[in-house]
Chains A and B, each alone.
Chain A
Amino acid sequence: QKEVEQNSGPLSVPEGAIASLNCTYSDRGSQSFFWYRQYSGKSPELIMFIYSNGDKEDGRFTAQLNKASQYVSLLIRDSQPSDSATYLCAVSPFSGGYNKLIFGAGTRLAVHP
C-alpha cells in the first residue's frame, strides 16, 4: 500500500464547476498536510496547507482534513481553464518545522471551457 494515494485522473470538469480532489494516507501519526499544483514542465507550487481537522478556505480553494478517516481533500470552486494542472497531495509525519514530505502520485485536473 502506498503511503499517500491519489486518483491519477484525469479529472475533467467544465469551467465554473467545483473540482474535488481526494487523497488518503496510511500513517496515522501524520501531522501536516499540503496541496501543491504543478503545471507541465514546472515545479510544484504550494496552494494550501492544513494542520487541524476541519475545513480551511483560501479564495476559491478549500482544504478539508479528517484525521480519523486519514483523508484530505481539495475543493476548487468556479474552476477555470488555468486550473488545469496536476495536483499533488503531500503529507508530513512531523510538525513544527521538521520537513519531510511524502507525496502522492498526483491527480491531473482538466477544466474545459
Chain B
Amino acid sequence: KAGVTQTPRYLIKTRGQQVTLSCSPISGHRSVSWYQQTPGQGLQFLFEYFSETQRNKGNFPGRFSGRQFSNSRSEMNVSTLELGDSALYLCASSEGQGSSEQYFGPGTRLTVT
C-alpha cells in the first residue's frame, strides 16, 4: 500500500496570511490526525478526523482548523499566520476503529516570515 502523502512539502508564508495543507491517508484508513512539531514544544496534537467528523481536538487556538472529505483526505488550515506557527506539520493515518496505530506522512515544513 502507498503511504501517507502530504502536500506541499515546503511552504513559505508571510505573517497574517493563511495556509492550507493537504493529507491523503493510507488506502482504507478512515482516521486522520494532525500534529505540529517544533524544536521547543516537540510534537503536539492538533486534531483528529474520522468519517468527516472532528473526533478529538488539542489545545490550539481557533486559527487552526481542519476538515475531512468523504474519501478520507484531510486538509488543515491556519489563518492569520504568526511567526510562532513556523513548524513541521505532520499528518498521521489510522484505521480509526479497533486499532490505534498511527502512521505519519513526510510532513509539511511551514516557514512564516
Contact = CB atoms under 8 A, between A and B. Distances in A.
- Do these two chains really belong together in a complex? yes
Interface of A: 31-32, 34, 36, 42-46, 49, 88, 90, 92, 94-106
Contacts, number: 75
B87 interface: no
Interface string B81-98: 000000010101011111
Interface stretch (B10-18, B41-49, B65-73): B41-49
Given A43-B90, A43-B105, A44-B90, A99 B42 contact: no
B33 A100 contact: yes
Nearest to B94: A99
Given A43-B90, A92-B100, A94-B100, A100 B42 contact: no
A97 B104 contact: no
Dominant secondary structure at the B interface: strand
B100 A95 contact: yes
B100 A49 contact: yes
Nearest to A94: B100
Nearest to B95: A97
Nearest to A2: B42
